[in-house]
């Protein structure tokens, strides 16, 4: 049962339930106390010890129901011949249908059958179910990860069951007892169906995490501006997961980072009175400026497809860094800090887009709005992040205003969703803006966007 529980923990992790080693130990101890006879009590015990939220509780319950359900062998089918025998009171020779020496329809001797053939002809469903479980363990079915491996594991399970001997028995029966051979062939088809069902169930249990990781990796490298409609919601979920990782990674600095490194010389001097036994410690503390970030996000029509993803990442910055001011613009610029601070991401994005989104971009006018109203918020401790494609619709780009912002800021980072090949073509003014930026990065995919924002936040840790 311990091995069975370890396989269940692996399946639970694939279903999105975070199961730590300590929680696994607690669950095993609890199951040891309550036993496994009562399936409902076992289910409740695992949910109590492993689930940490309602979402995890629901996912874990569904995983439990799937994991502990076993595909049933097909029910026995009564043939016309057996019905006739029962009605006439005839008894099979030598006991069971598969016993050696049973006479065939032509009076020839019944061949000696293997164990699997006897189980199938004897319609021993308990024995067949046990054989299927043993074959799954022998084939290491819990190691299945991808749907392309289904055929491989089905073959392994059939080999572990002894399908080679079963085929030999089937060939022998065709000459000695065609009716029994037909029954055995039908039972073999049912066995293959059960094996296929077990492999499909195992793929859902153990392959879900790898399949999800593969899908996310493909999505992480997909261009944000060319997503299909069905991929947009998947990408939003992926961006939310990225934002959650950023919060978990950077919102709680490590104790060592807060305290600094041990200053050996000062520690020895402070403890000279005790023979240099380090009763008192001294630490080297590196001074870090309090982080200040100003984010300016283009939400015009030319980047409407990626604006939602930009705003989701900016929303995560508000939860990680204390001092963040955010602005959005199309033809003019407004501050959206309060919206992002007080509302959930989806609601905040809808309100921002309704106020200033989908318009024709005017970088020059927007920079002018920022210079008039908010330039004082930029100090030598401020990192300014501009998220946009730098396409000005052939209007004045006002590079002089970006230069003023750059002169006042600690650094300016420009994240552009377009490929570098498009910079400088048409109405793109990226080459004219780039000299006034400390960092210019292409952020055409979720992976590039995550890396850029992570590097920005990490600089303050």
User: pLDDT above 70 covers what percent of the chain?
Assistant: 86
> Per-residue pLDDT tens for 237-289?
887 777 777 766 666 454 444 556 788 888 888 888 888 788 888 887 665 55
- Specify the pLDDT at position 88: 39
- State mean pLDDT over 113-123: 88
CB atoms within 10 A of CB 121: 19
> Per-residue pLDDT tens for 378-404?
999 899 999 999 999 999 999 999 999
From CA 110, how far away is CA 113, in angstroms rounded? 9
From CA 181, how far away is CA 161, in angstroms rounded? 19
Reported as half-sphere exposure (CB side, CA atoms, 13 A), residue 3 has a value of 3
CB neighbours of 339 closer than 8 A, spacing ≥ 6? 348, 351, 352
- State mean pLDDT over 4-22: 83
Residue 386 to residues 48, 84, 309, 459: CA-CA distances in angstroms?
46, 85, 14, 17
DSSP helix/strand/coil, 23: helix
Reported as half-sphere exposure (CB side, CA atoms, 13 A), residue 452 has a value of 23
From CA 309, how far away is CA 243, in angstroms rounded? 10
Rg, C-alpha atoms of the chain: 34
pLDDT of 89 over the 60 cut: no
- State mean pLDDT over 422-433: 94
- Specify the pLDDT at position 84: 40
- Specify the pLDDT at position 298: 93
| Burial zone of 343 (CB within 10 Å; 0-12 exposed, 13-18 middle, 19+ buried) | middle
- Specify the pLDDT at position 286: 61
- Specify the pLDDT at position 444: 87
Tokens of residue 295, six digits: 């984010």
Contact 364, 393 (CB under 8 A): no
Q: What is the CATH number of domain 292-458?
A: 3.40.50.410
The pLDDT confidence band at residue 107, using thresholds 50, 70 and 90, is: very low
Tokens of residue 124, six digits: 């021993």
> Per-residue pLDDT tens for 344-376?
878 888 899 899 988 899 999 999 999 999 999
Contact 389, 342 (CB under 8 A): no
Backbone angles phi, psi at 387, to 5 degrees: -115, 110
- Specify the pLDDT at position 259: 58
Mean pLDDT computed over every residue of the chain: 82
- Specify the pLDDT at position 364: 95
Residue 144 to residues 101, 153, 156, 216: CA-CA distances in angstroms?
42, 8, 12, 19
pLDDT of 443 over the 70 cut: yes
Q: Which of 98-112, 212-226, 291-305, 430-444 has the highest mean pLDDT?
A: 430-444
- Specify the pLDDT at position 456: 77
- Specify the pLDDT at position 424: 92
- Specify the pLDDT at position 94: 40
From CA 177, how far away is CA 92, in angstroms rounded? 13
From CA 335, how far away is CA 366, in angstroms rounded? 11
81-98 burial string, b = 16+ CB within 10 Å, else e?
Answer: ebeeeeeeeeeeeeeebb
Tokens of residue 90, six digits: 């005839």
Q: Which of 341, 293, 310, 311 is nearest to 459 (CA)?
A: 293
Query: Hey, what's the torsion of the CAs at 153, 156, 157, 162, to 10 degrees?
Result: 160
Between strands 333-335 and 323-329, the pairing is antiparallel
Could you tell me the pTM of the whole model?
Answer: 0.59
Between strands 323-329 and 292-298, the pairing is parallel
Q: What is the DSSP letter of 35?
A: -
From CA 406, how far away is CA 439, in angstroms rounded? 11
- Tokens 């859902």 map to which residue? 204
DSSP letter string, 378-428:
--TTEEEEEES--B-TTS---HHHHHHHHHHSSEEEEEESS-GGGTTSTTB
- Specify the pLDDT at position 427: 93
């Amino acid at each position: 049962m311990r091995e069975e529980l370890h396989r269940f923990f692996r399946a639970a992790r694939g279903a999105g339930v975070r199961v730590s080693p300590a929680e696994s130990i607690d669950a095993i101890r609890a199951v040891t106390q309550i036993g496994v006879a009562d399936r409902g009590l076992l289910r409740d015990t695992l949910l109590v010890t492993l689930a940490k939220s309602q979402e995890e509780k629901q996912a874990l319950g569904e995983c439990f129901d799937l994991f502990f359900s076993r595909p049933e062998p097909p029910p026995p089918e009564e043939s016309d011949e057996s019905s006739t025998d029962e009605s006439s009171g005839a008894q099979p020779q030598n006991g069971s249908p598969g016993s050696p020496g049973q006479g065939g329809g032509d009076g020839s001797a019944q061949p000696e059958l293997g164990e699997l053939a006897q189980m199938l002809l004897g319609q021993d469903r308990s024995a067949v179910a046990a054989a299927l479980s043993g074959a799954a363990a022998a084939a290491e079915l819990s190691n299945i990860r991808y749907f392309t491996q289904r055929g491989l594991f089905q073959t392994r399970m059939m080999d572990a069951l002894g399908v080679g001997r079963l085929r030999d028995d089937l060939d022998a029966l065709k000459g000695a007892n065609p009716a029994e051979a037909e029954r055995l062939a039908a039972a073999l088809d049912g066995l293959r169906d059960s094996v296929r069902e077990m492999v499909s169930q195992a793929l859902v249990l153990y392959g879900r995490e790898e399949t999800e990781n593969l899908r996310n990796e493909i999505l992480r490298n997909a261009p944000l501006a060319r997503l299909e409609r069905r991929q947009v919601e998947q990408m939003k979920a992926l961006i939310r997961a990225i934002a959650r990782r950023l919060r978990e990674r950077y919102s709680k600095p490590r104790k060592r980072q807060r305290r600094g490194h041990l200053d050996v010389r000062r520690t020895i001097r402070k403890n000279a009175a005790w023979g240099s036994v380090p009763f008192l410690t001294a630490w080297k503390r590196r001074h870090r400026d309090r982080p200040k970030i100003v984010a300016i996000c283009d939400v015009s029509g030319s980047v409407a497809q990626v604006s939602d993803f930009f705003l989701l990442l900016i929303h995560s910055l508000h939860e990680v860094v204390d001092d963040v001011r955010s602005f959005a613009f199309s033809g003019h610029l407004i501050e959206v800090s309060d919206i992002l601070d007080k509302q959930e991401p989806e609601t905040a994005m809808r309100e921002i887009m309704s106020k200033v989104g989908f318009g024709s971009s005017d970088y020059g006018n927007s920079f002018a709005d920022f210079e008039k109203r908010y330039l004082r918020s930029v100090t030598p401790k401020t990192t300014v992040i501009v998220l946009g494609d730098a396409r000005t619709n052939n209007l004045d780009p006002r590079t002089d205003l970006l230069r003023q912002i750059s002169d006042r800021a600690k650094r300016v980072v420009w994240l552009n969703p377009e490929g570098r090949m498009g910079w400088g073509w048409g109405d793109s003014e990226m080459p004219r803006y780039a000299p006034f930026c400390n960092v210019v990065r292409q952020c055409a995919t979720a992976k590039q966007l995550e890396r850029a924002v992570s590097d920005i936040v990490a600089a303050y840790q």
